[in-house]
Amino acid sequence: MVNKSIIILAAGAGTRMKSKLPKVLHKISGKPMLYYSIKEALELSDDVTVVLFHQAQKVQQQMEKFFDGINYVIQDHENYPGTGGAVMGITPKYEKVLVLNGDMPLIQADELKKFDLDATIVMSVLELQNADGYGRVIIENGNVKKIVEQKDASQSELAVTTANAGIYQFDTKFLLESLPKLSNNNAQKEYYITDLVEMAINQGKVLKPLIVNEENFKGVNSKLDLSEAEVIHQNRIKREFLKQGVIMRLPDTIYIEEGVIIEGESIIENGVSLLGNSKIVNSHIKTNTVIEDAILIDSDAGPMARVRPGSEIIGTHLGNFVETKKAKLNGVKAGHLTYLGDCEIDEGTNIGCGTITCNYDGINKHKTIIGKNVFVGSDTQFVAPVNIEDDVLIGAGSTVTGDVKKGELYLTRSKAKKIDGYFYKHFGNKK
């Protein structure tokens, strides 16, 4: 771990997102944007500070679901607005401090390690074909000599295609000495972190540019940016699984969230969504199936199945339009059109089409337990709580309201009745 402190700026409202949700809590691949900045920062440092202001409590609560040991500070936005004001009042633990943005979810620790250069300020820069809209960075003899906003640039400076990427590493001593000297004498009346760069240049300090990958440093300021960043992140996730030997049919149609695990000889077909902390091992997930916070081992699911949170599916076949929730299935066949919720079903059991575990009484959820080698006929309802022992046969169309002992046949069908000529009595003779 590198001996540097990290400050992550996450105070902004993000008005261009056009949302009541704080910008840094908008999700990419199932996790808030800020999650990724913190995750990568923790690869480098044990001194990570997140600066908050807009809906600070909400942002902090969300991040505390994922991380421990993070320092949270509230920016004095009323008196010290702006990026420079955001880092005021923080005392970094180490001699170097890296300042990141919470709206750069594609940042990667391996690239952040490259900031470890001998300079008062290391400044990230992009080498662009067209730098229109960016602040320009003027470099001479390998050092930063000037930064200039586009509106203030001369014609020769506008021709420069080296742009400011917005991430900085500071010598901590310089940062702490310089922050009190910042001024808000500008149109926005804000304190800018970029003024520290100009201050260091005027003092003759060494400022090194670090050329970085434009994709990794992509900022998210709108819903369009968010969607573009998610496509990039999804491609990264799927590329890693493909390298590990997972087969994917039409990968561009598959959605896999951060936290999903896929192992062994697994096949993921087109249109599949793998959500939350799902784990797929040696399994075949067929077209348009959704797996959420569930485990599948040596199983297949779909097409168009839904495996909901808390399900553990082992050695099992789930066919089309089968839904499970908190279901522990071991060696089971459920071919189609079935709901299995809050249940445990053991090996050798066959679940007929249209079977339902009636697990909810309007107030509480109840459990259905089905043993080994049970044959469940089509259109069966298990009114939980019920316990079905091994080697049981449930007749089609049954409503099971009590326990069934080993070896029994359970039937609730009423005796068939035929009434001759009733059609004509009901509808009349249509001839």
User: What is the predicted pLDDT for the residue at 153?
Assistant: 84
Q: What is the mean pLDDT of residues 415-423?
A: 90
357 forms beta bridges with 382
User: What is the predicted pLDDT for the residue at 147?
Assistant: 87
pLDDT digits over 102-121, tens only?
A: 999 999 999 999 999 999 99
Active site residue 317: no
Lowest mean pLDDT of 4-8, 192-196, 273-277, 344-348, name the range: 192-196
- Within 10 angstroms of residue 351's Cβ, the number of other Cβ atoms is 30
Per-residue pLDDT band for 414 (boundaries 50, 70, 90) equals confident
| Percent of the chain whose pLDDT exceeds 70 | 99
Does residue 139 register a pLDDT over 70? Answer: yes
Does residue 132 register a pLDDT over 90? Answer: no
Q: What is the mean pLDDT of residues 38-64?
A: 97
User: What is the predicted pLDDT for the residue at 40?
Assistant: 97
Per-residue pLDDT band for 412 (boundaries 50, 70, 90) equals very high
Among candidates 405, 416, 381, 384, which has minimal Cα distance to 395? 381
Higher pLDDT, 416 or 242: 242
Q: Which is the catalytic residue, given 26, 54, 284, 336? A: 336
Residue 135 marked as a ligand binder: yes
Q: What is the 8-class DSSP label of residue 430?
A: -
Residue 396 marked as a ligand binder: yes
Q: What is the mean pLDDT of residues 278-297?
A: 98
Residue 103 marked as a ligand binder: yes
Q: What is the mean pLDDT of residues 337-345?
A: 98
Q: Which residues have CB under 8 Å from 92's CB, separation 6+?
A: 5, 7, 47, 49, 172, 175
146 forms beta bridges with 138
Q: What is the mean pLDDT of residues 221-239?
A: 97
Domains and CATH numbers, the chain: 4-216 (3.90.550.10), 223-410 (2.160.10.10)
Higher pLDDT, 427 or 51: 51
Per-residue pLDDT band for 431 (boundaries 50, 70, 90) equals low
Residue 82 marked as a ligand binder: yes
Residue 221 marked as a ligand binder: yes
User: What is the predicted pLDDT for the residue at 231?
Assistant: 98
pLDDT digits over 381-405, tens only?
A: 999 999 999 999 999 999 999 999 9
Q: What is the mean pLDDT of residues 52-77?
A: 97
In whole angstroms, give the CA distance from residue 299 to residue 281: 8
Per-residue pLDDT band for 1 (boundaries 50, 70, 90) equals low
Does residue 97 register a pLDDT over 60? Answer: yes
93, 354, 375, 423 from 335: Cα distances, Å: 59, 10, 13, 36
pLDDT digits over 274-286, tens only?
A: 999 999 999 999 9
User: What is the predicted pLDDT for the residue at 430?
Assistant: 67
What is the secondary structure of 309-376 as a DSSP string? TT-EEES-EEEEEEEEEEEEEES-EEEEEEEEEEEEE-TT-EE-TT-EEE-B-SS-B--EEE-TT-EE
Residue 23 marked as a ligand binder: yes
Residue 10 marked as a ligand binder: yes
Residue 413 marked as a ligand binder: yes
| Percent of the chain whose pLDDT exceeds 90 | 87
User: What is the predicted pLDDT for the residue at 428?
Assistant: 87
Residue 85 marked as a ligand binder: no
Q: What is the mean pLDDT of residues 267-280?
A: 98
6, 97, 113, 235, 303 from 2: Cα distances, Å: 11, 11, 8, 29, 47
Residue 308 marked as a ligand binder: yes
